[in-house]
Amino acid sequence: MSAQIIDGKAISTRIHTEVTQQVAARKAAGKSTPGLATILVGDDPASHTYVNSKHRACEEAGINSFGFTLGADTSQERLEGLIRELNQDERVHGILVQSPLPKGLDEQHALSMLSIEKDVDGFHPVNIGRLAQKGPEPLFVSCTPAGVMVLLNETLSSIEGKHAVVLGRSNIVGMPVALLLVRANATVTICHSRTQDLPAMARQADILVAAIGRAEMVRGDWIKPGATVIDVGINHVEDSSRKKGYRLVGDVAFEEASEVAGAITPVPGGVGPMTIAMLLRNTLKAAEMSDS
């Protein structure tokens, strides 16, 4: 079996185009330009790369972006003071605090200081709490988990009734994805480092979401024939044949898995592009909410 490749790059490009058109329409109607503020603390190279890519995407979509970079020795008081300032700034509709924060800073408390109406990254405790409850809807859903759900809905005629297995239980991906799948009426199993016989659990999945951060850990014989596989992992593997000296791989052994799965996301080009696309969509939504 040769799996269908789920093209996250193409889907994210379509979303980017839709957001760009809607932003242009807002401006033409005399409404405010959506604005995103990012807060980056410290000098982690990967975080700088991620934040820069978000600002580029905003510029391409016609969204205003405001970047705030603080030193690694920034105090909790200074960080939270900046968040309070941005909460009151009418130019800013969305605020993103780039994770991880340096040691010594309380990330959860900082996130709790965000205005829930500007929490476009979906990590405010109230938004996470609403996601975990039946009934109330979160104002915003975390961007990567939201992107995963878009990919699944684009690929499958229905998620309802399917057995979904999520490998990983992080606050950023694993747990929110599991909650979203429950909301979509899937039967969900969450696996982690203490799960016994992980391959056997994975083989039960109609939908397998891998978010464990270990290069190519999920092998082809872990996959149920015909399953839909969403690989959230982004790992650097040394490769002297590449100009940069490394290549990117996911948490799934792609070549093996694609011979068994019904559909699968590649790395790169699968989940990754969806994260920024959903951030743009959330920022536009925040601006639209501010109109009322």
Determine whether 106 is an active site residue.
Answer: no
pLDDT at 1: 57
Determine whether 21 is an active site residue.
Answer: no
- Contact call for residues 19 and 284 (beta carbons, < 8 A): yes
Q: Which helix (H) or strand (E) holds 176?
A: helix 174-183
The 10s digit of each residue's pLDDT in 82-107 is 999 999 999 999 999 999 999 999 99
pLDDT at 244: 83
pLDDT at 189: 98
Q: What is the mean pLDDT of the chain?
A: 96
Determine whether 133 is an active site residue.
Answer: no
Distant-in-sequence, close-in-space partners of 37: CB < 8 Å, separation ≥ 6: 65, 66, 67, 68, 86, 89, 92, 94, 95, 96
CATH of 143-272, one of 3.40.50.620, 3.90.1150.10, 3.60.15.30, 3.40.50.720: 3.40.50.720
Cα 100 from Cα 61, distance rounded (Å): 26
Residue numbers in the known binding site for NADP(+) are 168-170, 234
Q: Which of 22, 118, 121, 251 is catalytic?
A: 121
The 10s digit of each residue's pLDDT in 110-149 is 999 999 999 999 999 999 999 999 888 999 999 999 999 9
Where along the chain do the CATH 3.40.50.10860 domains lie? 30-116
pLDDT at 46: 86
DSSP SS3 for 78: helix
Cα 96 from Cα 50, distance rounded (Å): 12
Cα 129 from Cα 126, distance rounded (Å): 5
pLDDT at 28 over 80: yes
Fold classified for 30-116: Rossmann fold (3.40.50)
Work out the percent of the chain whose per-residue pLDDT is above 70.
100
The 10s digit of each residue's pLDDT in 226-249 is 999 999 999 988 888 888 888 899
The 10s digit of each residue's pLDDT in 240-279 is 888 888 889 999 999 999 999 999 999 999 999 999 999 9
pLDDT at 13 over 60: yes
Residue numbers in the known binding site are 168-170, 234
Q: Which of 54, 162, 224, 285 is catalytic?
A: 54
The 10s digit of each residue's pLDDT in 40-60 is 999 988 899 999 999 999 999
